[in-house]
Structure 1
Amino acid sequence: MTGDLRHVVCPHCHKVNRVPAEKLASGGNCGACKQPLWPGGVLELTEQSFAAHTGRSDLPVLVDFWASWCGPCKVMAPQFEQAAKAWQGKVRFAKLNTEQAPGPAGQFGIRSIPTLILFQGGREVARKSGAMNQAQLTQWLQSVLGGK
């Protein structure tokens, strides 16, 4: 073990876990609730869990701001899910329903959906509006993060 620990927020109980960097992609369980840290999909955020995941994780967190009535959001959802699996252990993929959680949507000035915002270290580092397929999503993430 290199001793390089990363903070990862549990998708279930929202507690911060310290995980060796070399073991991020292999999964692991939360030290508090014993649930998987990487349940294999996209995390559904609420107003209450948004700040914990975007502000307390050492991993980049990609948030899809969406709404249930949005056609392009529905079209992009399966592509977003596939990209989440491909980036597991490198980027946490999450969704925030702007109808159910208007606070963060207003805080970040979301004017059109879907809008993707990449957070790192609690700060917005990149933003992209409009639906994308998995290849476009991957290309955008690689350009922002400097590769996979």
Structure 2
Amino acid sequence: MLIVCSHCHATNRIPEGRKASEGQCGKCKQTIWQGKPVDLSESQFAKYTSKNDMPVVVDFWASWCGPCKAMAPAYAQVAEQMKDQALFAKVNTENAQQLGSQLNIRSIPTLAVFRNGKEVDRIAGALPANQLQQWIQQALSKMP
């Protein structure tokens, strides 16, 4: 299984059956995935969403957005709870305007689930932790 390190963004091979949260990066020697959302730049987004064999949940947000800030703790909580089911990332749309336009992000916060570089599901608006986890589990169940 291929997993992109949440620290240095190097691609690592993890043996089947082993959890990404247990793997150590061959490049930076840190734990590959710690269950905390990773801040992605525009240039890191494509690699992170297409080179991971695990699904990637992305929160598109902005610093001026009140609902984005209100949902951030719930998003971090769900990332920790689901750390062996999906990877979690955040993209600041103020810094990644071209990406936001390319992906047709019209309102924030917008959450999207990616698998092998393709968007699987999307929802707009802030959600409490329990609804967020339920939506992610539903999106993951749609995947082959």
Give the TM-score taking structure 2 as reference length. 0.93
Structure 1 range deviating more: 134-143 or 111-120: 134-143
Instruction: Tell me the amino acid that sits aligned with residue 68 of structure 1.
Output: S
Residue matched to 2:54 = 59
Instruction: Tell me the amino acid that sits aligned with residue 113 of structure 1.
Output: I
Which ranges of structure 2 fall in alignment gaps of 5 or more residues? none
Instruction: Tell me the amino acid that sits aligned with residue 20 of structure 1.
Output: P
Residue matched to 1:93 = 88
Which ranges of structure 1 fall in alignment gaps of 5 or more residues? 1-5
Residue matched to 2:129 = 134
Aligned length: 142
Aligned equivalents of 1:58 and 1:144: distance in 2? 16
Residue matched to 1:122 = 117
Aligned equivalents of 2:121 and 2:13: distance in 1? 25
After TM superposition, which residue ranges in structure 1, 4 or more long, deviate above 4 angstroms?
none
CA contact (8 A) 2:65 2:108 kept: yes
1:9 aligns with 2:9: no
Instruction: Tell me the amino acid that sits aligned with residue 73 of structure 1.
Output: C
* Distance of aligned partners of 1:7 and 1:142 in 2 relative to their CA distance in 1, 3 Å threshold: same
* Distance of aligned partners of 1:13 and 1:25 in 2 relative to their CA distance in 1, 3 Å threshold: closer
Aligned equivalents of 1:87 and 1:36: distance in 2? 16
RMSD value, Cα:
1.3
Deviations 1:4-57 (A, max 9, x none): xx1100112211111123211542210111111123311000112111100111
3-state DSSP of counterpart to 2:68: helix
Instruction: Tell me the amino acid that sits aligned with residue 11 of structure 2.
Output: V
Instruction: Tell me the amino acid that sits aligned with residue 81 of structure 2.
Output: A
3-state DSSP of counterpart to 2:121: strand
Structure 1 range deviating more: 32-41 or 84-93: 32-41
Question: How far apart are residue 89 of structure 1 and its match?
Answer: 2.1
Counterpart selection for 2:69 from 70, 74, 77: 74
